[in-house]
Amino acid sequence: MRALSTHRFLFRLALAGTNVFAWVFIFQYFYLVEPDIAHGLARVALLYALSQTITCLVTPFAARLLRSGARRALLLGTVAAASSFVVLGAALEGFWGGAEVPIALAAFACGLGVYRALYWIPYEAEAEAAGKRAKNIFAELFIALAPLLGGACVAASLYGPVWLLFGGACLILISVIPIFSLRDIHEGFSWGYRETFGHMIDPANRALVTQSFLEGIAGAALLLFWPLAIFLITGWSYGMLGVVLSLTFVLAIFMRSLVRKGLRKASLHASSTLNIVFAVTPWIFRMLVATPFGVILVDSYFHTTTPRRIGLDPVVFEQAADGGSFLDEYTALKEMALSLGRIALCAVGAAAALTVSLPVAFVVVFVCAGLAAAAVALKSR
């Protein structure tokens, strides 16, 4: 369990300080090479959709790989994540010519898709069953401050983006070391590749797939479009983006337990109506905010009140079914449906960016996310 905790801390720390900035770097690159900012947003959305497509297609292979041991899949997934950031950093450094940069960006997206498909943590389920999954608030706070450090690194030098990406990749590679100390766990996965997709459209699994699809829509809005909106609200400032994200996460860490205790004391924690309100109102507020302070208020409210964020780790901008724990074949279906939901929202966002104004495109995306969040809250009643 100590080896697992060490790996997860280093890995989450690297992603918290690197992942969101990587997509912002790509957005700014497309803004420079495309005719306008709307086309840049559309290109980023399509690239993110490519990443999720790879995740959806590779997940059945990755699930079967667990039959020969989860440790190898975890190792491969971690290396794939590190390699992706190295490729992106090399592209920004000018390692390839201008004509090859789009290929490098596609390789980055595909690498992240492979990482997300391979990165399962069955050990988490074992740790929770053994009662050893206690949260370390100091580790959580340190991870929450990673965006602040990442933004400062980018703002400090012209080569800050490259240093950040290479530094994140090195930290991810260091997190590989504890993996070798983990006991190998073998998971059963009885479905074949085509059979897995067949189960996705099976009416018996419709409720599971539909709910995960809706969660994927809300997840893409939160993990991709909202950070880009924050970047624009902060005046294209990487430093301010890091400050806003870190302040939000720190406030959420301290406020979450207080808010939940208050709701329990008031006997409102089981209120279906209130859960729906908490699921929808943050997306309404996101359409209205126009200042960094407003962003902090809205996100703090969201992270302390949202009733259902299954497997969502907002600090590292990562979402996975069942918190990353592979349990059975249906978890693979949930992960694939999450990817399909993200792809669908990216398609909507790209189409909106190319047909209407940029602010309206963000509103369209947030409306879709709010409706998806409301539907998930209604289905959980």
Domain of residue 136, CATH code: 1.20.1250.20
Per-residue pLDDT band at 127 (split at 50, 70, 90): low
pLDDT for 272: 79
pLDDT at 218 over 60: yes
Domain extent at residue 291: 2-379
Alpha helices in 289-328 (DSSP H): 292-305
Q: Is 312 in a helix, a strand, or coil?
A: strand
pLDDT for 273: 84
pLDDT for 330: 85
Give me the chain's average pLDDT, please.
88
Structural contact between residues 233 and 289, judged by C-beta atoms closer than 8 angstroms: yes
Q: Is 313 in a helix, a strand, or coil?
A: strand
Q: How far apart are CA 106 and CA 158, in angstroms?
A: 24
Structural contact between residues 373 and 222, judged by C-beta atoms closer than 8 angstroms: no
Structural contact between residues 223 and 45, judged by C-beta atoms closer than 8 angstroms: no
Percent of the chain residues topping a pLDDT of 90: 66
Query: Does residue 189 or residue 243 have the better pLDDT?
Result: 243
- Residue found by looking up tokens 């399962």 in the block: 120
Structural contact between residues 166 and 17, judged by C-beta atoms closer than 8 angstroms: no
C-alpha distances in Å from residue 161, one per residue of 18, 23, 373: 9, 11, 34
Task: Output DSSP code: residue 316.
Answer: T
Percent of the chain residues topping a pLDDT of 70: 89
Domain total of the chain: 1
Neighbour-count burial of 264, counting CB atoms closer than 10 A to its CB (0-12 exposed, 13-18 middle, 19+ buried): exposed
pLDDT at 28 over 90: yes
pLDDT for 260: 76
Structural contact between residues 348 and 368, judged by C-beta atoms closer than 8 angstroms: yes
pLDDT for 308: 47
pLDDT at 209 over 90: yes
| pLDDT tens per residue, range 33-72 | 998 999 999 999 999 999 999 999 999 999 888 888 889 9
Structural contact between residues 172 and 39, judged by C-beta atoms closer than 8 angstroms: no
pLDDT for 190: 85
Which pair of tokens denotes residue 248? 């939000």
| pLDDT tens per residue, range 144-182 | 999 999 999 999 988 999 999 999 999 999 999 999 998
Structural contact between residues 52 and 342, judged by C-beta atoms closer than 8 angstroms: yes
Task: Output DSSP code: residue 85.
Answer: H
Backbone torsions φ then ψ of 313, nearest 5 degrees: -110, 95
Q: How far apart are CA 314 and CA 309, in angstroms?
A: 9
| pLDDT tens per residue, range 259-312 | 878 877 777 766 778 888 999 999 999 999 999 999 999 999 998 887 544 444
Average pLDDT over residues 170-195: 90
Q: Is 121 in a helix, a strand, or coil?
A: coil
Q: What angle do CA 30, 342, 193 make, to 5 degrees?
A: 115
Give the DSSP per-residue string, 184-245.
P--------HHHHHHHHT-GGGHHHHHHHHHHHHHHHIIIIIHHHHHHHHTTS-HHHHHHHH
Backbone torsions φ then ψ of 121, nearest 5 degrees: -125, 75
pLDDT at 323 over 70: no
Q: Is 356 in a helix, a strand, or coil?
A: coil
Positive/negative CA dihedral, 62, 80, 11, 238: negative
pLDDT at 128 over 90: no
Query: Does residue 318 or residue 284 have the better pLDDT?
Result: 284
Per-residue pLDDT band at 95 (split at 50, 70, 90): confident
C-alpha distances in Å from residue 341, one per residue of 8, 189, 336: 26, 24, 9
Neighbour-count burial of 85, counting CB atoms closer than 10 A to its CB (0-12 exposed, 13-18 middle, 19+ buried): buried
Helix (H) or strand (E) holding 324: none
Helix (H) or strand (E) holding 309: none
Query: Does residue 345 or residue 314 have the better pLDDT?
Result: 345
Q: How far apart are the first and last CA of the chain?
A: 35
